[in-house]
Structure 1
Amino acid sequence: MTRVNSKKVIALKPDRRRRRRPRSSSRIIGLAVVVAIGIGLFLGFRPNAYQVMIQGKSIGAIKEKKILDTAKETVAAQLESLYGTEVKFEEEVELKKYRAKKRDYIDPSYLITYMRKNMNVLIAFKEIIVDGKVIGIVASDDDLEVLKESLKKAYYGNKDVEVDFGKKVETKQVFAKEADLINHDLLVEKCTATTPKIVEYEVKSGDSLWLVADKLGVTTENIIKENPKFSESNVLRIGEMIKAKVNEPLLPLVVIEKDTQEEGAEDQNKEIEKEA
C-alpha cells in the first residue's frame, strides 16, 4: 500500500486595513487642497476697503470709515474758520464695501479737497437785497461797507465826502455753496450799471444850476433841456422843483451833508442834556 504525503496549504487573506490607508491619505490631501483653494478664493475676493461715492461717482477707496469722518470734520472746520459762520452738508457720502486694488486707494488730503469743491457743502452767507431785489451773495455784512467804499470811489473819485446808500439795502441769511459767492468787482459792476430815469430835485439854499447839475451827475445843458424855462443865467428859488434826466445806477449813493450831521449831533447832545 502506497502512502502519499499530503501537505496542508493555508491561504492568508490580505490585510484590509493596510490596503485602505493609501486611499485615506489621498482623500485628506485632496480635501486640504480644496480647502486651501477655497480660502485663497475667499481671501482674494473678500471686501477689504470702502468705495467712496459722491454724487454717484466713485472717487476711490479708503481703508476705514473714520477716514471719511475725519475728512468731513476737516472740511467743516476749514470753512468755519475762513468765514466764521455755520456750515452744514446737504448730502451724504455713500460707502460701499468692495475688493480694492492698491491703485484704488486715495490720499485723505485728496478726499478733503474733492469734498470741498464738489459736494453740496452749504455755508451761512448773506444775500444783498436792494429795494427788494437780490443782487448777489456775500460772505458777511462787513462786505456791505467794502462795497460802499468801492462805489464811493467809482462815483466820487477821491472827493472827501461821507456817503450812504441811496436805496434801501438789507441783508438776509441764506445757506449757499462757496462757489455762489459773487466776485467783488462783478458786484461793483452790477451796482454801477445804469438805466435812464427822470428825477426831480428840490432846490436848497445856496444851490445854483451848476451845483445842482454836479449833485445829480449831469450837465447844465441836460437840466436846461428838461426844463425849457431855465437858462444859464437863471437864479434858482428855494423849494423850486427841477427835472433832470439821469442815468441812475442800480445802487446809487447819497452824500451826507455836513450841516445835517452837525444838526443831528447838536440834537443828540440836547437830548442827552435833557435826560441828565
Structure 2
Amino acid sequence: MKVKKIILYIFTVFLFLLLIFYFGKKDKFSEKDENNIAKNNLKENNDSNKISTEKGDIISKKNSIKENNLNKKNEIDVFGNYLNYDENKYVKTTYKSQKDFFNLLKKNSLTKLSNNSKFYFVDNVTVIKLNNIKNKNKEYLWQDNDNVYKSSSNSYRNLNYDKKLLVINKNNDTIFYSNGSYIIKYKNQIGDIQYFQNAYHVKIIKNFPDDKMMFLRAKKNSNLLEILKNLKLNSSLVSVELDLDIPSEKEI
C-alpha cells in the first residue's frame, strides 16, 4: 500500500512538471508569435508608408510636370500640343497670348494701304525665321510656329530690305509681310524702262509681256505708300497691288 502511494506521488509530480513544461513552452511560442506579428505589422506599416510616400512623390512629380507643361502651353498656346514641347524650338516672348500680341500690332497699324483697304501697315515690328535668329536667349515679342516677331525701326515710309514690313488684315487678324514688291498689269508695253524706274523709285524684277504683267520692287529707303499711290495714278496701268506674303507659307 505504501508502495502504491509512492508511485502515485511520483506520477503526480511528473504530471505536474509535464504540465508546467507544456504551458511554459506554449507561452514562449505565443510570445514569439506576438513578436513576429508585431514585426510583420511594423514591416507592413513601413512598406505601406513607403508606398504611400513613393505614390505621393509620383503624384507630386506628375503634378509638377503637368503644371510646367501648362505654363509652357500658356506661353506658346498657338504651337499645338504642349506635351511635345521642345525648348530648342521656342524663344522667350514678351506677350503670353496671341490676343495681346495682335493688340500691339493693331496699335502700331494706323495707315491703310488705300482708303477702301482692309490692310494696314504695321510699324516697328518685323518678322524673322527662328533658324535665322542668332541669340535665342533674348526675349522677343511673339512666336508663331517658326516665325519670330521682334521690335524694329522699320516703317512703310522708309523701306529696309533687311527688315520685313508687316501688314495686318484687321478684319480677321491675319498677318502678312512685304519686301517692297508690287504686281502691276499694264495696257501696253512700257517704253522707257529706265525713266519708269526712276520716276517711281522702283526696279523691274520680272516682266511677263504675254500676260502684260510686271513684278516691281521699291528701292531702298523708299516710301511704299507713296509709290503705291503714284503707280495707281498712271493711266497706262490696269491694276497695281502691293505683293503680300504670309510668313507661315513662305521662307523669309
Shorter chain as denominator, the TM-score bin is 0.3 to 0.5
Q: TM-score, normalised by structure 2?
A: 0.38
